[in-house]
Structures are given as C-alpha cells and as structure tokens.
Amino acid sequence: MNRNANPIRSDIAWSTTDRITVRGRDLPGQILGHMNLGDFAFLQLTGREATPQQSAVFNAIIITLVEHGLTPSAIAARLTYSGAPEAMQAAVAAGISGLGSVFVGSMEDAARMLSEALPDPTDCFEAKLTEIARDQVAAYRQSNRILPGLGHPIHKPVDPRAPRLFEIAAENGMAGPYVRLIQAIAAEAERVHGRSLPVNATGAIGAICCEFGFPWRIVRGFCVMARAIGLVGHILEESERPIAREIWLRVDDEATAHLRPT
C-alpha cells in the first residue's frame, strides 16, 4: 500500500444493511416526505438544507430548465429512442449531450463571466458595476465573442422567463450585485450595439447562481439534471405518439430531393 497516497474520501452519503445517510440526514426518516426534489438537490449539492427563500429561488431555476419544446436536444432524444427503444437511458444521454455553449450551456458562460468580473460581491457600489459592465462589453466586442446570457433567437423582444426569475429572486432577497451586474451589462450592450439585447433565461440563471455562491463550473449541471426530466417526458410521448420516424423521413426527402430524378 502506498502510504503517501491521499485518502479516498466522500462526504455525501453512506449505507449499511439498515441505514442510508445522505449529507448527515437519514434518508427514510428525515428526507423522504420532508423534502421536494429541488430541496433535496440543494442539500446534495451544498450539504445544507435550503431556507424557504433559497428553496423558492432554486426550485424556480430548476423548473425553468426542465422544458423548452422540440429543441435539438429533445429531437436527438426522440430519434435515438426510435432507433433503440430498449435503451431509454441512451436517448436521455443523447439529448443531454447537446447541452452546450449554444443551447442552455450559456448559463455556465454567464456565471463565469459574472463571477470573474466581480470576484468580491461585497465590493459592488453602482458606479463600479457600471464600470465593470462597460469593460465586459468592450472586451467581448474586441475579441469578437458573443456576450453570454443576452438576447434570444425565439423570444423577442423579451424572454418571458428572465423577468419572472428576477422577480422571484427579488421577492426572496436574492437579487443582489450579480443580478444588477448582468442587467448593467445588458444595458451597456444595447447602448453599444444599438439594438435590444435583454437578459435571457440563461443569463438570469447564471446571475442568480452567482448570488447563491455556486461555482460557475457546476452551473451547467443544473440544466443537465433538470432537462433529464423533460427528456423523459419527450420519450414517453414518443413511445405513445411517435414523430421521430416522420422527422427522419421528411429530412431525408428534402435533403436529397435534388438528387432524385424528376
């Protein structure tokens, strides 16, 4: 045995023949029937029970991320299920694999931008937030990068999820410096680019996750666990009223129509 090796350790959960303990709580006696899924997720992630205010905001974030219609991730899940109905987990995995920088994963980018721009949230007087916003917009523009968390290809002029999330955060005392900073960045971006660039849902979630103090590296994971629920719903519907085969045949027909003899 290598005595110099670091010990193997986990502080999350342990089991015996008659007990299951998660974050120091007895699963059957202290969690089942006492916590909803969002509150249990918060406990799992932080090791703390959510306050009523944290519960309201965190559950709103998770619910927001569950569903957004026939997105590429949902279509990928349905197509995979149509080819391998015996492996539902593969279909869910196919859908989750598409959660990246374009779809949903931008919440991670927004959280990273905000947390790195404002490493000390106690040093956040309004003039400084305005200065940070100006610097961020200029830096992203100079490097020809898209500012994460602003605008939406479908929801115009406003992503209706964002103002509601900000409202819930404010009602529960969690609309702090990071929320104000993403709003300041949106205002500066609109001024510089001369067009409407409101905060979208991923920008709002990224900011609120910073208010919680979550590391930006874990933020995309919230979408992974939430969207899995939505994908299971799509797979259930696909099993009852299939559309994946029709999608496949229509795409094949249109994509190869120019090759077919008239």
> Within this chain, do residues 109 and 221 fall inside the same structural domain, yes or no?
yes
Q: Which residues of 62-81 are buried (b: 16+ CB within 10 A; e: fewer)?
A: bebbbebeebebbbbbbbbb
Segment (H or E) for 14: strand 13-15
Closest CA to 182 of 151, 223, 221: 151
> Within this chain, do residues 181 and 71 fall inside the same structural domain, yes or no?
yes
Q: Which residue range is the domain that position 37 belongs to? A: 11-50
> Within this chain, do residues 174 and 204 fall inside the same structural domain, yes or no?
yes
**Distance separating alpha carbons of residues 43 and 36, to the nearest angstrom:** 11
Which residue positions in the chain have pLDDT lower than 70?
Answer: 1-3
* 8 A C-beta contact, residue 107 and residue 202: yes
**Where do the H-state alpha helices sit in 105-154?**
106-117, 126-142
> Within this chain, do residues 21 and 151 fall inside the same structural domain, yes or no?
no
> Within this chain, do residues 147 and 239 fall inside the same structural domain, yes or no?
yes
Query: What pTM was computed for the model?
Result: 0.92
> How high is the pLDDT of residue 9?
93
The CATH number for 183's domain is: 1.10.230.10
Token look-up 């709002």 returns: 204
Token look-up 């029937």 returns: 33
> Within this chain, do residues 38 and 91 fall inside the same structural domain, yes or no?
no
Closest CA to 91 of 81, 99, 106, 101: 81
> How high is the pLDDT of residue 133?
96
**At CA 157, angle to CA 155 and CA 162, rounded to 5?**
65
- Give SS3 for 22: strand
* 8 A C-beta contact, residue 71 and residue 65: no
> Within this chain, do residues 157 and 210 fall inside the same structural domain, yes or no?
yes
The total domain count for the chain is 2
